[in-house]
Amino acid sequence: MPALSEVISALDGLWPRERAEQWDAVGTVCGDPGTEVTSVLFAVDPVQEIAGQAVELGAQLLVTHHPLYLRGTTTVAADTFKGRVVHTLIKHDIALYVAHTNADRAAPGVSDALAGALGLRVVGPLVPDPDDSQERRGLGRICELDRPVPLEEFVRLAAERLPATVQGVRAAGDPARPVRTVAVCGGSGDGLFDQVRAAGVDAYVTADLRHHPASEAREQSPLALVDAAHFATEWPWCEQAAAQLDAISDRHGWGLRTHVSRMVTDPWTAHAASSPDSARPALSAANSTTSGAPN
Ligand SMILES: [Zn+2]
């Protein structure tokens, strides 16, 4: 069985910490380097429910995409929610490791996993890393579909293939317009509209699209926007990351057991469609591009 320090250096090899954004906080949050690791849990969010799941599993390492502490802190007291997570983990000798913007930029990275979940063929990064001569790393991905499909069908497909959330998948654009090329960016992607427009793709799949950037993007080009829950666009990375660690474990004969959390930690828990003809349950109401009632 490997020591935590060996597993951590393998993970650092997949997602080098120096490739994270300056403002980010990645790497080991807590953990004793000498602890023997047999079981690892992957999840999007380092919240209490996920810490509890790591305890139940008997995992020694929890790997999350989102940081627990992004800004400095002066307390890990258990009466703060983040401190409670830290206490839960340390009491059960579980390490926490974060791979955030360094996993976004990696190849394969978060957007490769999103493209894979959507059944898209990746052509290259949307914003290539200047220091990657192979032009594989970077933010977002430009992708192709094997055959063009109307936007309406593409959105339905996205809703079927991504983890179910109460938001579902919403879209902006002509439902009948064919989609053949797609830019994807796991997580909040409305800072990349200029690059998406420059790429000349038919549609952009991301999360957290705000009114003004989305509205302006729609006014400036026929680009279709496909907006899924932030959690849903990043969860596929957990499966990809677990498979990457599995491969490393096999190579070293570590015999690690990896698990991917299936707990939906999207903070949004309710949804009501505003369309008057929508008498369907809220969980299935967001997968249509044609229920365009103003709201
Ligand atoms: Zn995120």
DSSP 117-175: HTTPEEEEEEEE-TT-TTS--EEEEEEEEEEEEEHHHHHHHHHHHSPP-SS-EEEES-T
**237-247 mean pLDDT:** 98
CA of 117 to the centre of ligand 1 (A): 16
CA of 149 to the centre of ligand 1 (A): 28
Statement: residue 286 has pLDDT above 60: no
CA of 234 to the centre of ligand 1 (A): 6
CA of 276 to the centre of ligand 1 (A): 33
Q: CATH topology for 107-228?
A: 3.40.1390
Q: DSSP state, 216?
A: H
CA of 277 to the centre of ligand 1 (A): 34
Statement: residue 283 has pLDDT above 60: no
Give the predicted TM-score (pTM) of the model: 0.92
CA of 186 to the centre of ligand 1 (A): 7
Class of domain 4-102+234-260: alpha beta
Q: How confident is the model at residue 240 (pLDDT cuts 50, 70, 90)?
A: very high
Residue 108 preceded by cis peptide, ω within 30 = yes
From-to residues of CATH 3.40.1390.30 in the chain: 4-102+234-260, 107-228
**161-179 mean pLDDT:** 96
Compute and round to an integer the Cα radius of gyration of the chain.
Answer: 20
Q: How confident is the model at residue 273 (pLDDT cuts 50, 70, 90)?
A: confident
Are residues 97 and 63 in contact, defined by beta-carbon separation less than 8 angstroms?
Answer: yes
pLDDT tens-place string over residues 192-235: 999 999 999 999 999 999 999 999 988 988 999 999 999 999 99
